[in-house]
Amino acid sequence: MKLYGSLTSPYVRKVRVLLKEKGIACDLIVEGPSDPAGHVIALNPLGKVPVLVRDDGDVLFDSPLIAEYLDSLAGEPLIPRSGEERWHALRWHALAQGILDAVVARLMEVRRAPEKQSPELITRQETKIVAALKYADSAKKGLAYLVGDRFSIADLALGVALEYIDFRFPHDWRDRHARLAHWLAGISTRGSFAETIPPGMERSLDAPH
Ligand SMILES: N[C@@H](CCC(=O)N[C@@H](CS)C(=O)NCC(=O)O)C(=O)O
C-alpha cells in the first residue's frame, strides 16, 4: 500500500499514527496537494491528502474512511465494531476532525495578506476550537483512555488534534483544561505519536501552562 501525504498535515498524521499502532506496512510518499508531481490531484478529485492506494490499486481518500479501512485489516480494532463504544469513539473522532478543520481554516486565513483577512472568520474558528476543548475536558471520563479501558481511535484522533492546536494555534488552553493537558501528556508518549511529530513542531508538554 502507498500513503500520499505531507508530514505536516494532521489528517495524514492520524493515518500514520494508526498504521504504527496496528503494525501495518505502508509506503509513505511525501507529497502535498499542490506538489508539481501531481499524484494527489490525479488520485483524489478533491485534491486533498491523505490518499491511500491499496494493494489492489483501489484508491481511498478522506482520513476517517482510510482509518476505517486500515482498522479493518488487522489486529485489535481501534474503532470499536459495535455497541455504545463505537458511537462514543466515532463522536470523539468527529470532534477531533472538527478541531482540525477549524485550526486549518484559521491558519489559511491568518496566512493571507493582512488586508484580505476576515477577523470574523478567524474569531468563528477560534470560538469553535475553544468550545471543543471545553467539551472534551468535560466529556472526558476515563483516566487513561477516552473510551473503554484501552487506546482507541478516540485517543488517537483527539491526541493528534490537540497537538495540532499546539503546532498551529498555540495558546494557553492548558491553563483552563489541566485534566485534558495531563491526559495528552500521557497519550503523546506513545511511540506512534513520537515517531510522527511534524517537522517544525515543538512539543509544549512540559510547558508550565
Ligand atoms: N476531510 C479530509 C481533509 C483533508 C485536508 O483538508 N487535507 C489538507 C492538508 S492538511 C489538504 O490536502 N488541503 C488541500 C486542499 O484543501 O486543497 C480528511 O480528513 O482527509
Rounded Cα–Cα distance for residues 69 and 63 (Å): 10
pLDDT in tens, 42-81: 999 999 999 999 999 999 999 999 999 999 998 899 999 9
- d(C-alpha 122, C-alpha 140), whole Å: 27
Percent of the chain clearing pLDDT 70 (strictly above) = 96
Residues 6+ apart with CB under 8 A from 96: 14, 154, 157, 158, 160, 161
> Which of 42, 45, 41, 61 minimizes the C-alpha distance to 53?
61
Atom nearest to 49 CA in ligand 1: 12
The one-character DSSP state at 27 is E
Query: Which of 48, 68, 95, 106 gets mutated to test ligand 1 (max ligand atoms within 8 A of its CB)?
Result: 48
Domain 83-190 has CATH 1.10.8.50: no
Mean pLDDT over the full length of the chain = 95
Q: What is the mean pLDDT of residues 180-206?
A: 89
Best mutation site among 3, 8, 11, 63 for ligand 1 pocket (most ligand atoms within 8 Å of CB): 11
Distance 77 CA to ligand 1 centre (A): 25
Residues ≥6 apart with Cβ < 8 Å to 122: 106, 109, 110
* Cα distance between residue 119 and residue 112, in whole Å: 12
10 CA to centre of ligand 1 in angstroms:
9
Q: How far is the CA of 20 from the centre of ligand 1 (A)?
A: 21
Domain with CATH 3.40.30.10 in the chain: 2-73
Using CA positions, which residue lies closest to atom 1 of ligand 1?
62
Question: Where are the CATH 1.20.1050.10 domain residues in the chain?
Answer: 83-190
Per-residue pLDDT, 206: 44
Give the pLDDT score at 208: 33
CA of 136 to the centre of ligand 1 (A): 23
**By C-alpha distance, which of 97, 79, 73, 107 is closest to 157?**
97
* The predicted structure's pLDDT at residue 137: 96
pLDDT band for 18, please (50, 70, 90 cuts).
very high
pTM over 0.85: yes
Nearest alpha carbon, ligand 1 atom 9:
9
Percent of the chain with pLDDT over 90: 93
Contact at 8 Å (CB) between 129 and 99?
A: yes
CATH number belonging to the domain at 2-73, selected among 3.40.50.10860, 3.40.30.10, 3.40.50.720, 3.30.360.10: 3.40.30.10
- For ligand 1, atom 19: residue with the closest CA: 63
Residue indicated by cell numbers 501552562: 209
Confidence (pLDDT) at 209: 30
At 154-173, the pLDDT tens digits run 999 999 999 999 999 999 99
Reported as type and span, the H/E element at residue 51 is strand 51-53
Whether the CA torsion 198, 112, 95, 163 is positive or negative: it is positive
pLDDT of the residue at 204: 58
Residue with cell 495578506: 113
Tell me the pLDDT tens digit for each residue of 109-145. Answer: 999 999 999 999 999 999 999 999 999 999 998 789 9
Residues with CB under 6 A from ligand 1: 9, 11, 33, 47-50, 62-63, 104
Q: How large is the average pLDDT for residues 175-183? A: 96
- Provide the 10 A C-beta neighbour count for residue 100: 23
